[in-house]
Structure 1
Amino acid sequence: MKKVNIIWSLCLALFIMSCDSFLDVNPDAEVVNDDMFDNVQGCEDAITGIYGKLKSNEVYGEYYNWGIFDLLSQDLGCSSQVTPQYYFTRYDYSQAATILESMWQVPYEIIGYVNNAIDNLERKSEGSYPLLNLYKGELYALRAMLHFDLVKSFAPHVEKSASVQGIPYVTEYSFKHTPFSTVGEVYEKIIIDLKKAQTYLEEDKDNLAWPRTDTGNDIDNFMKYRQTHLNYYATTGLLARVLRMKGDYADARTEALKVIDSGRFPLASKDEMVTLVAGTLSQKETLFGVYSTKYVETTKLRLYDGASWTSFSPYQASSGGQFLFDFNEVYSNYLGDNAGLDGRLVWIRSLTAGGTSYRLLKNVDVTIIESAQNTPSNRGLVDGISLMRVPEMYYIVAEAYLRENKLDEAADYLNPVLVSRGLTRLEDREPALTPSLDLLYNERYKELYGEGQRWFDMKKLNAEIRSNAELKVIPASDKVYVFPIPEKEFEYRTQE
């Protein structure tokens, strides 16, 4: 990108963050002042400001969440071309160029802030700040997380195309362009950063205890609400997610077990499903989420209001539409006569008793929308966008065992999640069910519905796409599974 454009975008973003002088760009536009990192409060304000950018619509507030990827997986429909996300339901990326540019540019802007902070903090002497290692660990994990989501979106899948062009893995705060790495190289750099983060965060292991003691919304203290930071367990869970996507299943299992065996993230019960992640962070299950009081506005517009020109809705035969599949198919697979009642079905429901118009309300705090007095803080919850939960760790362990054909061990990690959701253990079904990869991926589908993860499972499996939007089956190809990198990126490179 052109230097002047980067500079102005950085300044604008900093203004929006209201994080005083985080990147104080000098008149020569090449030197970054480091005054903010001269004291503890400045460091913590800077890191908090970086986390604050993650909640933007261009990142996890919408696009890098259900706002794009559940449209791509055909789980949510967008019926109006007034809403630019409409074109993602038809894989017409040429008509979605503006959104794709922001999905490329904004994460790299945040990576720039992260690299500036890392550069400043790595120059501090050991022990200069009591929490120096935690600051650095969180920042390395943030850098890895953003690159991971970029490479999953803008490059082919690593297991089949590790040697092809990936994305730039940016590790320096500089206005010079970073060369592109191959997909495999990007994954290796992500893993290196996450392992480095783990080392720095080793002392963080005991800071996220169960039961939680830091409920409410007072997040001024850096060490409170560790679920709103890339804490040790969130970083470890992220490493497990990366390794599993890469196909390193045994190593992914090792990392996932560190989270499960810690005992700090108990599975929620069936009765807790309605509000589990409805604009809040699950006190039990969330490993990491972004603190946000504004998320309710986005979810109200897109998932609650039901306006045909702005809202996204699950595909549902009961509404009279004709589709290749609807959400009921997902939750009706692999049951049996005595399966029980899946508590997760409340995530997709009508706002009125007996209604036939269903909405994805999993992420929507209906209570706060309908009663301003009943806020998350009044209920002892933390407002936010849940981005990683412990059931995923159970699935990662189960998948590793399945790929080793260890069916009993796989069942040992599938069953606890099933039981917590109100379902019967696999071996107690009538007829009894045997764990399989198909069953596992269907369970991942049920659990992660509306969290932007299904699309990447489809990409990993190179699955054909049953398009509800166009009533046809679309063959798997990089044409649909890989976002085109914005042309401006290459235009700016040729102008250097």
Structure 2
Amino acid sequence: MKIKKYFFLPLLALFVSCTNWLDVTPKDIVDEEDLLESHLGYRNALNGVYKQMGETGMYGKELTWGFIDVLANPYYLGSGYIGRYHSYYKVANYQYTDTDVKSYIENIWTLAYNSIANCNNIIGTIEKADSSMFPLGNVEKNLIMGEAYGLRALLHFDMLRLFAPAPIVDDNSLYIPYFEKFPSYGENNLTVTEVLNRVTADLIKAKDLVASYDTLSNENFYRLTLDGGAFDVARANGLPEDVFYAYRRYRMNYPAITSLLARVYNYAGKHDEAFACANEVMELRDEYERMLFIFSTRENALTDRKMKQDLIFALSSPKLYENYLSYATDHGSATGDARFVLRDWNAAFDDPADYRKDVLTTPLSSSSSYYMPARNIQIASEENDLCPIIRYSELYYIVAEYYASKGNWREAVNQLDNVREGRNCTKGRLTNVNDYESFRTELLKEVKREYITEGQLFFYHKKLNVKCTNTMTTEDFVLPLPDSENIN
């Protein structure tokens, strides 16, 4: 008989205050026995989950521009000797039984479920906590609890997207567990539908909980920033000066949770529900009736390659620039890691005005090839840790899929064009979309241009059931569970 085992790491990382990231926790060091017995402990615990999610093994690399992006096959890794010894060569060829690839998979799984366990520890204790211990009372208690629910949902959803088939080809088998309590040493695997239902329930709960802060007043929307300017404005308007309440785009804020809910509904094929969530975020305005999220202009992108104005949710990954640089430049190594060169990058663009090509990528000298995008190398070095997770453009793609599900190809194309226009393209160039297959082709082209290095291309291919390469099999869309999940 095989018994599943789940060993969760202790909350080691949660006792260190943030010094160079968002500084969302106080300078005080909280003793372990007091960790979840004061508002400082809960803040540090929540901050620890965000910090772990930004690590190299998670969204700081492998779940964005590393392992998961390589699976989508956007990079040419080299040929012959160099190609065979590239650290991601076996990943790119879906060699999931190889020892090196197994190590990637094991690490991703372990870190994700460790973060889930830490979320559950927060949820399980804060629900019974006295709200009077928090400076903003029940509003802050709900904010922390809502973010923990949102993170738990995000992590389970991405494990589902990796380790189970997409709903479009679901066979109703059991795939991954959903953990909702701490401690827990074993949960039964669930079907794709069962996991999606639990993810949805967590996000709905999270949305309601954070709404008490994020939508308390229009002034709080100043908090939805990735820099300090809006924080100063909010502070001048009489909002709490504690930085814990600021920099909300680095946290599971109300628009982020709603956008993630739209992503989940879209993945599940529930296009009406996805449309409603996406439209809610797209309609958000501040007190001056300005749109809360807008597309970065070409001029902004020249100095802000991560296009902060587009971001709804991001993480901080302190080692991002250090890890990224060697893949984005030609350092001439014949063994080990080699650069990422974008595959068929010239052909990917149908409009010469599209700034995503020349602003966010670097041409190789004396060739028509391009290095992987410069998007993770900011001009402002203090922003090199910024790791995009949810981008405004995704909402337009979700709405486009909604119209495509209704057979309204004109409006579906119009939504794709809205993004393209935001990237400096000439609107109206897409004229060949008149059925689902042609729409799907254009959507995948758009996603490749928009989300290179951000880990979404593989999931779009999987959701739409379009293989990433000619040699890929449909089985390659589903990662095998780590060996540690089964013992005799």
Q: Is the TM value for this pair above 0.5?
A: yes
Equivalent runs, 1:194-205 vs 2, <5 Å? 194-203=203-212, 204-205=214-215
Contact 1:303 1:364 in 2 (8 A): no
Q: Secondary structure at the match of 2:204?
A: helix
The aligned counterpart of 1:140 is: 149
The aligned counterpart of 1:476 is: 473
Which letter maps to 2:102? Answer: A
Which letter maps to 1:254? Answer: A
Which letter maps to 1:222? Answer: F
Structure 1 residue 59: deviation in Å?
0.5
The aligned counterpart of 2:105 is: 100
What is the aligned counterpart of 1:251 among 262, 266, 273? 273
C-alpha spacing 1:39/1:55, structure 2 compared with 1 (3 Å): same
Equivalent runs, 1:70-219 vs 2, <5 Å? 70-79=69-78, 80-95=83-98, 96-126=101-131, 128-129=133-134, 130=136, 131-161=140-170, 163-203=172-212, 204-205=214-215, 206=218, 207-209=220-222, 212=225, 214-215=227-228
Which letter maps to 2:486? Answer: F
The aligned counterpart of 2:481 is: 485
Which letter maps to 1:208? Answer: F
Contact 1:343 1:422 in 2 (8 A): yes
The aligned counterpart of 2:238 is: none
The aligned counterpart of 1:418 is: 420
C-alpha spacing 1:126/1:463, structure 2 compared with 1 (3 Å): same
What is the aligned counterpart of 1:459 among 444, 462, 473? 462
1:112-171 Cα deviation digits (max 9, x unpaired): 111001111111245552211110111000000001111100111123216111201011
Contact 1:347 1:360 in 2 (8 A): no
Contact 1:70 1:454 in 2 (8 A): yes
Give the whole-Å Cα distance in 1 for the aligned partners of 2:482 and 2:17: 25
Q: Secondary structure at the match of 1:388?
A: strand
Equivalent runs, 1:21-40 vs 2, <5 Å? 24=32, 33=33, 35-40=34-39
Which letter maps to 1:143? Answer: R
Give the whole-Å Cα distance in 1 for the aligned partners of 2:370 and 2:362: 4
Give the whole-Å Cα distance in 2 for the aligned partners of 1:5 and 1:188: 22
Q: How many percent identity over aligned positions? A: 27
Give the whole-Å Cα distance in 2 for the aligned partners of 1:366 and 1:291: 14
Please give the root-mean-square deviation of Cα atoms over the aligned residues, in Å.
3.2
> Which segments of 5 or more consecutive residues in structure 2 lack a partner in the other structure?
19-24, 232-240, 285-290
C-alpha spacing 1:176/1:17, structure 2 compared with 1 (3 Å): farther
Which letter maps to 1:448? Answer: Y
The aligned counterpart of 1:269 is: 297
1:248-304 Cα deviation digits (max 9, x unpaired): 1111111011111112101111333345454xxx43111111123321111113223
Structure 1 residue 14: deviation in Å?
5.2
Q: Secondary structure at the match of 2:63?
A: helix
The aligned counterpart of 1:323 is: none
Q: Secondary structure at the match of 2:388?
A: strand
The aligned counterpart of 1:343 is: 355
Structure 1 residue 410: deviation in Å?
2.5
What is the aligned counterpart of 2:255 among 233, 239, 260? 233
Give the whole-Å Cα distance in 1 for the aligned partners of 2:89 and 2:406: 41
Contact 2:14 2:45 in 1 (8 A): no
Give the whole-Å Cα distance in 2 for the aligned partners of 1:447 and 1:406: 23
Structure 1 residue 224: deviation in Å?
1.2
> Which segments of 5 or more consecutive residues in structure 1 lack a partner in the other structure?
25-32, 317-325, 333-338, 368-373, 467-472
Contact 1:77 1:89 in 2 (8 A): no
Structure 1 residue 6: deviation in Å?
3.2
Give the whole-Å Cα distance in 1 for the aligned partners of 2:6 and 2:395: 41
Give the whole-Å Cα distance in 1 for the aligned partners of 2:85 and 2:371: 20
Which letter maps to 2:107? Answer: S
Equivalent runs, 1:230-379 vs 2, <5 Å? 230-262=252-284, 263-278=291-306, 282-308=307-333, 309-316=336-343, 326-332=344-350, 339=351, 341-346=353-358, 349-350=361-362, 356=368, 358-365=370-377, 367=379, 375-376=381-382
How many residues are paired up? 445
Q: Mean Cα displacement is larger for which, 448-457 or 244-253?
A: 448-457
C-alpha spacing 1:83/1:174, structure 2 compared with 1 (3 Å): farther
Structure 1 residue 306: deviation in Å?
4.1
Contact 2:444 2:461 in 1 (8 A): no
Contact 1:348 1:359 in 2 (8 A): no
Q: Secondary structure at the match of 1:328?
A: coil
Contact 2:223 2:245 in 1 (8 A): no
1:40-97 Cα deviation digits (max 9, x unpaired): 2221111111100011111101111120122111102334555542211111111111
C-alpha spacing 1:394/1:295, structure 2 compared with 1 (3 Å): same
1:445 and 2:448 correspond: yes
Contact 2:377 2:384 in 1 (8 A): no
Structure 1 residue 186: deviation in Å?
0.6
Give the whole-Å Cα distance in 1 for the aligned partners of 2:326 and 2:226: 33
Which letter maps to 2:399? Answer: V
Q: Secondary structure at the match of 1:65?
A: coil
1:291-331 Cα deviation digits (max 9, x unpaired): 23321111113223544432341245xxxxxxxxx122222
Give the whole-Å Cα distance in 2 for the aligned partners of 1:386 and 1:138: 17
Contact 2:75 2:341 in 1 (8 A): yes
